[in-house]
């Protein structure tokens, strides 16, 4: 039995699966409240199946890029489960997930309310653009930009059965969150100097 967790998608998704099939699935709207919703939804998933975390062989987790607090909460939860029960974790970033789900390019990801990450082709890096600079067209990924601009269509088809078929497990014991963090506070020169001594 394996657990898949994606808190970047809207709605967030968690499901249990075996080698071929999704067995049970829960979805929820976390609205940047992963700290409040993630554990109750995992409890719900385990309760409806009679499975406990100790029954899992692997956890597959989309680890970003996503919101700073949301990704830290998700990754902390997954790392804690894996550590407590001695199981490996397979991290997937949202672009790897798109590859496994068969999403075409270009791809889009919400960075914050004013910016989106755009990846035009497999070999290109993600470019961060102000939402009003995103070219009209059809994108695949996770973004609400289409509600702001009717000339932009975002498709996020999630054929998770295809994901299960194409997964090649590569596990590690601890994953890190991926996020694009833009500081929104001003740090004084003295604090910067003291902090640099700690690094």
Separation between Cα atoms, residue 39 and residue 30, nearest integer Å:
11
Q: Tell me, yes or no, whether 190 lies in a domain.
A: no
Query: What's residue 26's pLDDT?
Result: 95
DSSP state of 122: T
Listed residue (101, 103, 104, 59) closest to 79, CA to CA: 59
Q: Indicate whether 81 and 175 sit together in one domain.
A: yes
The whole-number average pLDDT for the span 152-169 is: 92
* Cis previous bond, 20, omega within 30: no
Instruction: Say which residues have a Cβ less than 8 Å from residue 35's Cβ, sequence separation at least 6.
Output: 69, 73
Query: What's residue 194's pLDDT?
Result: 40
SS3 category, 121: coil
Q: Which helix (H) or strand (E) holds 22?
A: strand 22-28
Q: Indicate whether 168 and 79 sit together in one domain.
A: yes
pLDDT at residue 183 is higher than 60:
no
Give the chain's count of helices (H) and strands (E).
Answer: 6, 10
Query: What's residue 181's pLDDT?
Result: 57
Write down the residue that tokens 């998704």 correspond to: 13
Q: Indicate whether 171 and 143 sit together in one domain.
A: no
Q: Indicate whether 88 and 140 sit together in one domain.
A: no
Q: Indicate whether 25 and 81 sit together in one domain.
A: yes
Q: Indicate whether 83 and 9 sit together in one domain.
A: yes
Separation between Cα atoms, residue 175 and residue 168, nearest integer Å:
17
Query: For 40-97, how does the pLDDT look when each residue is reduced to its tens digit (9 = 90+)?
Result: 999 999 999 999 999 999 999 999 998 888 888 999 999 999 999 999 999 999 999 9
Residue bearing the bigger pLDDT, 187 or 84: 84
Over the range 27-54, which residues count as b (16 or more CB within 10 Å of their CB) and which as e?
Answer: ebebeeebeebbeebbeebbeeeebebe
Q: Indicate whether 14 and 69 sit together in one domain.
A: yes
Q: Tell me, yes or no, whether 197 lies in a domain.
A: no
Q: Indicate whether 72 and 3 sit together in one domain.
A: yes
Q: Indicate whether 114 and 180 sit together in one domain.
A: no
Instruction: Say which residues have a Cβ less than 8 Å from residue 54's Cβ, sequence separation at least 6.
Output: 85
Q: Tell me, yes or no, whether 113 lies in a domain.
A: yes
Q: Tell me, yes or no, whether 136 lies in a domain.
A: yes
Q: Indicate whether 90 and 108 sit together in one domain.
A: no
Q: Tell me, yes or no, whether 195 lies in a domain.
A: no
Q: Indicate whether 63 and 10 sit together in one domain.
A: yes
pLDDT at residue 192 is higher than 50:
no
pTM here is 0.86
Separation between Cα atoms, residue 175 and residue 82, nearest integer Å:
10
Listed residue (66, 14, 20, 58) closest to 165, CA to CA: 20
Domain count, the chain: 2
Q: Indicate whether 70 and 27 sit together in one domain.
A: yes
pLDDT at residue 182 is higher than 90:
no
pLDDT at residue 190 is higher than 50:
no
Domain that holds residue 74: 1-94+160-184
pLDDT at residue 5 is higher than 70:
yes
pLDDT at residue 31 is higher than 90:
no
Query: For 110-160, how does the pLDDT look when each residue is reduced to its tens digit (9 = 90+)?
Result: 888 889 999 999 999 999 999 999 999 999 999 989 888 899 999 988 899
Q: Tell me, yes or no, whether 56 lies in a domain.
A: yes
From 138, 156, 174, give the residue that closes a domain. 156
Q: Tell me, yes or no, whether 166 lies in a domain.
A: yes
Task: State residue 147 phi and psi, 5-degree precision.
Answer: -75, -20
DSSP state of 185: S
Q: Tell me, yes or no, whether 196 lies in a domain.
A: no
For residue 172, the domain's CATH number is: 3.30.420.40
Q: How confident is the model at residue 30 (pLDDT cuts 50, 70, 90)?
A: confident
Separation between Cα atoms, residue 101 and residue 99, nearest integer Å:
5
According to DSSP, the residues that pair with 25 across neighbouring strands are 15
């Amino acid at each position: 039995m394996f657990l898949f967790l994606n808190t970047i998608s809207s709605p967030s998704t968690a499901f249990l699966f075996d080698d071929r099939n999704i067995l049970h699935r829960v979805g929820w709207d976390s609205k940047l409240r992963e700290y409040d919703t993630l554990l109750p939804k995992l409890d719900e998933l385990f309760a409806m199946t009679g499975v406990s975390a100790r029954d899992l062989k692997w956890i597959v987790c989309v680890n970003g890029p996503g919101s700073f607090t949301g990704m830290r909460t998700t990754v902390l939860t997954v790392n804690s489960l894996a550590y407590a029960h001695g199981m490996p974790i397979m991290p997937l970033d949202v672009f790897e997930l798109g590859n496994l789900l068969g999403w075409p390019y270009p791809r889009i990801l919400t960075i914050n309310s004013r910016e989106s990450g755009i990846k035009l082709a497999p070999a290109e890096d993600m470019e961060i653009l102000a939402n009003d600079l995103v070219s009209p067209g059809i994108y695949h990924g996770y973004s609400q930009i289409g509600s702001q601009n009717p000339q932009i269509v975002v498709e996020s088809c999630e054929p998770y059965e295809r994901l299960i078929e194409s997964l090649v497990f590569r596990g590690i014991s601890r994953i890190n969150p991926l996020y694009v963090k833009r500081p929104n506070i001003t740090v004084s020169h003295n604090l910067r100097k003291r902090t640099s001594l700690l690094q």
